[in-house]
Structure 1
């Protein structure tokens, strides 16, 4: 368990800075001897101080300038979320360059598009498989100056394959002097692009969102009040740095506030790292919380009836207490006494799985089921839902301490404004709306029409100013009868009925009723198959290890193992029952009349998921067109009346 700082308000540096590099420099001057980053080495967490962080980045900055790069040149980083990523990123910023991330596990074609479109001059890269990808992608790219492996071992392994391979030692020499750093930062206009963030590409090639220094600094100034960070806070980070939320709030937000971070050894070790680090703040995508919730409840199902009754009682007491807390009412003494018992017997154990010190968890990117939010809040693990998009520099709305309404994404963060267009689309404007898309003025004009950012999301603002997202505008289903339906609402109602369900894709545009594709959840499906002789514990462990290493990937071995389980009649009947229960929460016109079950989960390899686990709806519709057609014939799995 890592040591925490004093329990005092965080002292931010963004208000005094003009650029990201200046903010970083100010932070390091203020907190020089304090820990900034923790990495695990030889079984122990090894700290890097803010001064050490600055020294490393200043060496990278000097190395980039020595390669002939200048202000505004693009630097790409392809690697796991580790200190090297952070050091390279801020090294580029100190040198006055534009940095951007590339998601791991992309194809050579995808990586080539990003390098070519961005006109990247340098790409830092880790892992042999990723270097192979970059080498294939870089063929014929004349503008690319250097490919830099993170370690000398990797460099030696690939040395000679491409003359642009540069050893990492070129970035480990002398640091760029403070005088030079200050001169570079003074020449930067705050309106200049600081970073590029490429969208995940659910509707076509990724677009490069240009985020200015001013965009980032203004959101950090406003968000710091909403998140209420403390000097005693500590975070555990593992989400991809190519993602806007992890990059801006998770990383630059920590630099601004001076909050130390421990970097998980890998996605496979997150649960173990949570226990050994014991963070106080934890940001993640809803999928992690969904999986944790499903795992807890599946474990309870295996317990004796007495344990199940105790858990159910504790959950009920926790929700009763939560109702009073969220309403701002004193918790009645009787409920408080009951909760103290429930906490000692049940909830403390749940918090221990997250390290035992978490005081705040933040999530966004997709809605989280109210039942999951209520459960974690009741257990003393508050999850604050936030909302935003890459084009709004990550966040515009957030639930915050003392102002929480579950099922919404909170209120707009001042001085940003929001309104709902006549067609239901959410519009936003404010100082951290992005500059536009690189080399795409038409898309920029469409996105910023009328001076408002057109989010593409549909939602409602209640009387208290809380925003609720209902769906993506382009995803709305218009039935043959002219009814407008939200597929997200339908999918959520069914998905949350059973942990065996990973994804639901609702379909019904210009159809007489709604049908759906149901994709099973990998680990839960294999676990279900073990007692029925359809899967072995060894096979489960092997497939789980693969998934933890690459959460959005689905190997052929995993698909084959899942198919054996999914084919079992009892499995299909359980999914049928889940769909039936989900329908009970939907209006009649929304209810799924027929559905088909895939024998595997959606995957990135099959083009159905983005690197951030979002379903590519257009691709799914095209790929499974004939399967969806079956759902409107007797060949589909018809639900009982």
Structure 2
């Protein structure tokens, strides 16, 4: 599938892009930080001044061409300032997650050859302050925010140094490396994805052109910028377009923050949209029957209208009433201005996408990997197909390698071509050669197919699919995602390698389970409740109702219920919230074996 639209790249490096935007949008708001219940905004001009100052501060520490500056922090103004200050010294930026383990931070610092490490707060600083004694190339650790003694180098100290000793920005070459994004390591140690200024500028230009962003757009930022999706959308694309973003301090206050920030565009992962779907459906069920009926009828007629069907007078009136009485109030909770909701990083259920869309927010599912700087395809205004991840973005080409066998006849490995494809993996030549073909095409490791209109459908990961005893391939991810739409199911992992049938480990949503138990007058501890026949029967019904669109051999024959959520803290999830299958399989080996007894 070739895209015909030409991508116009206006700059030769990210430094030029940032400096140009800060001149054009000098008095516009850029980032907002919540303080005492309100958001305080920094302008593009103020941001540029801080970038200049921090660049001087880093230069005073000897940071120069190709040096590595790493950061452990959530999304903050100092994060964005530090990244562009680093680029302006022709150095490379290496972001990490606050949720990673200390050993992962140490490994990434050592593997990347980090010279300067930025720590978000005193708690993280205490964990990493001794790193320079262990790592040959690491020279200093900087505390970004929080109280410090006189011996500690801080963000504010470096800003002051840069103010006193101005350092003009240097302009990196188009093909020079802008930094590394470390993959989350579901099957081993994290790999450093080498990305160039060319990679970044190409996909920034392609995606801003495709999604039609303008300086009037505003987002609410909570996706970590250490991840390619968050960084592309809410750092580089945002700055190029003159947009603004409120920075979420506490994700539990996300809905409250929406009302304050009033975003026009929202970037999130499917888990967030699934929660919105669950919560809204749950809340509607508590309303009077007349409201429930109007809500369901409104969604039904909104879908018909979207699909081009002409509505009769009564159906049109019902839709108008639903929008004015119910949908408008729901949209007001999201700020009342949201025009686009972009989903990425994993598969979004078509049912959830249609639900949110028909409430009045255009849902655009996109697809990409760290190895191509986040974006390859997208559902765009005027060109959407629910269940797909859209068509290739401008300048991107997608091919399907049918020599790779999948669970569906039309599937093969998705291979991507474009100027956003990474330079390679840092210090891993063999893995680079196995991932990039002779034409610099990226072997994504994803199974999928293109339909007759050029829309891409992703059906699973090659490394996750397995063969049953009967020789049939099973890609577990689609059913796992569908099961998580049940309010009773928090997480799920399906297994069946060389077995007669599939089984599943299911992490129950204990809040919903306890509500159900109260209604049925069932008692016991969490573990005891999950063993009760009435509870298991309810889960069996949930599994069956969410498996109707899957073939018999893809479905689950038996399951085990768990009460402890998988998380980064217990080592079951990566920092990007992906399931570590091998870790879970090992920990619950006996549980899995018992399901075949």
Question: TM-score by structure 1 length?
Answer: 0.86
Q: 2: CA distance between counterparts of 1:459 and 1:429?
A: 16
Aligned residue number for residue 128 of structure 1: 122
> Residue 258 of structure 2 contacts residue 334 of structure 2 at CA under 8 Å; is this kept in 1?
yes
* C-alpha distance 67-14 of structure 1, shift in aligned 2 (>3 A): farther
SS at match of 1:386: strand
Query: 384, 399, 413: which one pairs with 1:404?
Result: 384
Aligned residue number for residue 481 of structure 2: 492
Q: Within the alignment, does 1:80 sit opposite 2:80 as a pair?
A: no
Aligned residue number for residue 495 of structure 2: 507
Q: Within the alignment, does 1:457 sit opposite 2:467 as a pair?
A: no
SS at match of 1:290: helix
The unaligned stretches of length 5 or more in structure 2 are 1-6, 405-411
Aligned residue number for residue 294 of structure 1: 278
Aligned residue number for residue 283 of structure 1: 267
**CA offsets per residue over residues 91-125 of structure 1, 9 Å max, x none?**
11122211121111222111111111111111111
> Residue 199 of structure 1 contacts residue 390 of structure 1 at CA under 8 Å; is this kept in 2?
yes
Query: 153, 178, 186: which one pairs with 1:166?
Result: 153
SS at match of 1:189: coil
Q: 2: CA distance between counterparts of 1:529 and 1:114?
A: 46
Q: Could you tell me how far 1:58 is from its partner in structure 2?
A: 1.1
Q: 2: CA distance between counterparts of 1:606 and 1:138?
A: 28
* C-alpha distance 357-312 of structure 1, shift in aligned 2 (>3 A): same
Superposed counterparts of 1:196-275, under 5 Å: 196-275=180-259
Query: 336, 353, 357: which one pairs with 1:377?
Result: 357
> Residue 534 of structure 1 contacts residue 564 of structure 1 at CA under 8 Å; is this kept in 2?
no
Superposed counterparts of 1:457-606, under 5 Å: 457-496=446-485, 498-521=486-509, 524-525=512-513, 563=527, 566-567=530-531, 569-606=533-570
Superposed counterparts of 1:135-214, under 5 Å: 135=129, 139-153=133-147, 155-156=148-149, 165-173=152-160, 175=162, 180-182=167-169, 184-185=170-171, 188-214=172-198
Q: Within the alignment, does 1:429 sit opposite 2:417 as a pair?
A: yes
Q: Could you tell me how far 1:149 is from its partner in structure 2?
A: 1.1
* C-alpha distance 532-91 of structure 1, shift in aligned 2 (>3 A): farther
**CA offsets per residue over residues 467-507 of structure 1, 9 Å max, x none?**
000000111120111111221233234332x1121122111
> Residue 111 of structure 1 contacts residue 133 of structure 1 at CA under 8 Å; is this kept in 2?
no
Aligned residue number for residue 386 of structure 1: 366
* C-alpha distance 239-534 of structure 1, shift in aligned 2 (>3 A): farther
The unaligned stretches of length 5 or more in structure 1 are 1-12, 536-559, 634-641
Aligned residue number for residue 90 of structure 2: 96
Q: 2: CA distance between counterparts of 1:84 and 1:561?
A: 45
* C-alpha distance 574-446 of structure 1, shift in aligned 2 (>3 A): same
Q: 1: CA distance between counterparts of 2:564 and 2:33?
A: 35
Aligned residue number for residue 538 of structure 1: none
Aligned residue number for residue 65 of structure 2: 71
Aligned residue number for residue 15 of structure 2: 21
* C-alpha distance 526-60 of structure 1, shift in aligned 2 (>3 A): farther
Q: 1: CA distance between counterparts of 2:35 and 2:491?
A: 37
Q: 1: CA distance between counterparts of 2:390 and 2:38?
A: 39
Aligned residue number for residue 4 of structure 2: none
> Residue 493 of structure 1 contacts residue 586 of structure 1 at CA under 8 Å; is this kept in 2?
no
Q: 2: CA distance between counterparts of 1:172 and 1:534?
A: 61
**CA offsets per residue over residues 560-619 of structure 1, 9 Å max, x none?**
985465455543332121112233332111121111111222122222111111111122
**CA offsets per residue over residues 398-419 of structure 1, 9 Å max, x none?**
0000000000000011322111
**CA offsets per residue over residues 262-287 of structure 1, 9 Å max, x none?**
11222222111011111101101111
Q: 2: CA distance between counterparts of 1:401 and 1:177?
A: 48
Q: Could you tell me how far 1:230 is from its partner in structure 2?
A: 2.3
Q: 2: CA distance between counterparts of 1:60 and 1:561?
A: 54
Q: 2: CA distance between counterparts of 1:431 and 1:345?
A: 48
* C-alpha distance 532-97 of structure 1, shift in aligned 2 (>3 A): farther
131-140 or 289-298, which moves further after superposition? 131-140
> Residue 56 of structure 2 contacts residue 167 of structure 2 at CA under 8 Å; is this kept in 1?
no
Query: 360, 363, 369: which one pairs with 2:340?
Result: 360
SS at match of 1:148: strand
**CA offsets per residue over residues 313-362 of structure 1, 9 Å max, x none?**
222222222222xxxx6666654433211101211122122111100010
> Residue 231 of structure 1 contacts residue 258 of structure 1 at CA under 8 Å; is this kept in 2?
yes
Report the number of matched residues: 582
SS at match of 1:16: coil
Question: TM-score by structure 2 length?
Answer: 0.92
> Residue 493 of structure 1 contacts residue 585 of structure 1 at CA under 8 Å; is this kept in 2?
no
Q: 2: CA distance between counterparts of 1:462 and 1:167?
A: 54
Q: 1: CA distance between counterparts of 2:380 and 2:359?
A: 18
> Residue 126 of structure 1 contacts residue 150 of structure 1 at CA under 8 Å; is this kept in 2?
yes
SS at match of 1:457: strand
* C-alpha distance 291-61 of structure 1, shift in aligned 2 (>3 A): same
**CA offsets per residue over residues 119-166 of structure 1, 9 Å max, x none?**
11111112333223223655512321111112351x23xx66xxxx41
> Residue 468 of structure 2 contacts residue 500 of structure 2 at CA under 8 Å; is this kept in 1?
yes
Q: Within the alignment, does 1:56 sit opposite 2:44 as a pair?
A: no
SS at match of 2:31: strand
Q: Could you tell me how far 1:521 is from its partner in structure 2?
A: 3.1
**CA offsets per residue over residues 173-226 of structure 1, 9 Å max, x none?**
2547999534x11xx221111021000111110000011000010111111221
Q: 2: CA distance between counterparts of 1:348 and 1:621?
A: 45
38-47 or 332-341, which moves further after superposition? 332-341
487-496 or 602-611, which moves further after superposition? 487-496
